[in-house]
A = this chain, B = another copy of it.
Amino acid sequence: MMAQVRAMRADARRNYERLLEVAAEAFAEHGEGASLDDIAKRAGVGSGTLYRHFPTRQALLEAAYVDRIEAIAARADTLAGQLPPGEALVEWLNELGAGLTQVRGLRALLGSAVTEGSSAAATVCAGTLRSAAARLVEAAQQAGGLRQDVDAVDILRLTHGVATAVELADGEGQQIRRYLALLVEGLRA
């Protein structure tokens, strides 16, 4: 909870930020399996430096995309203010789905965010996404447009599953809307 006791040293901060840039590119390009040593090399640092800043692949993935996740979460509130509850949720899921298919690393991140018993389930990204989804889900349920027997995590998990399914098709952008539409149909109250 405390702010950092001490500011980062200037060189450390430079490396940290350079790593994030390179990592975001690498994950987007090669998926979540991108070589970490390669990321370190491309960032012009030793692999030790990478692992010191980001002890696990998860940590790096999360740090690289945390702003994007927050943007998506913020979008939930915007949509909630513009559309009726049910439609807001649907539209948000579509936008989330679009993000998941465009940026490969994001799908992995969502996956670990909704994995029960994973250490990643307790991270900032996971919490942010879950609570954004929960707001929309609860509103939709109260408005009566959404089944009562599902919760936000169920829906995020299913969205992740649908995104996975889409990755196996080659239709790209179109497919995610189609598949999500089917899912949404099943979720209707």
Q: Say which one of A73-81, A135-143, A160-168 lies at the interface with B.
A: A160-168
Contact of A165 among B157, B166, B169, B170 (CB under 8 A): B157
Q: Mark A86-118, 1 if CB is under 8 A from B, else 0.
A: 000000000000000000000000010011110
Q: Which of A114, A117, A169, A188 has the most CB of B within 10 A?
A: A169
A152 vs chain B, min Cβ distance (A): 13
The contact string, 1 if C-beta is below 8 Å from chain B, for chain A 63-78, is 0000000000000000
Chain A interface, DSSP helix/strand/loop, else mixed: helix
How far apart are A78's CB and chain B's nearest CB, in angstroms?
A: 26
Residue of B with least CB distance to A150:
B182
- Chain A positions 133-189 with a Cβ under 8 Å from a chain B Cβ: 147, 150, 154, 157-158, 160-166, 168-170, 178-179, 181-188
- Determine the residue in chain B with the shortest Cβ distance to A165: B161
Q: Which residues of A contact B (CB under 8 A)?
A: 111, 114-117, 147, 150, 154, 157-158, 160-166, 168-170, 178-179, 181-188
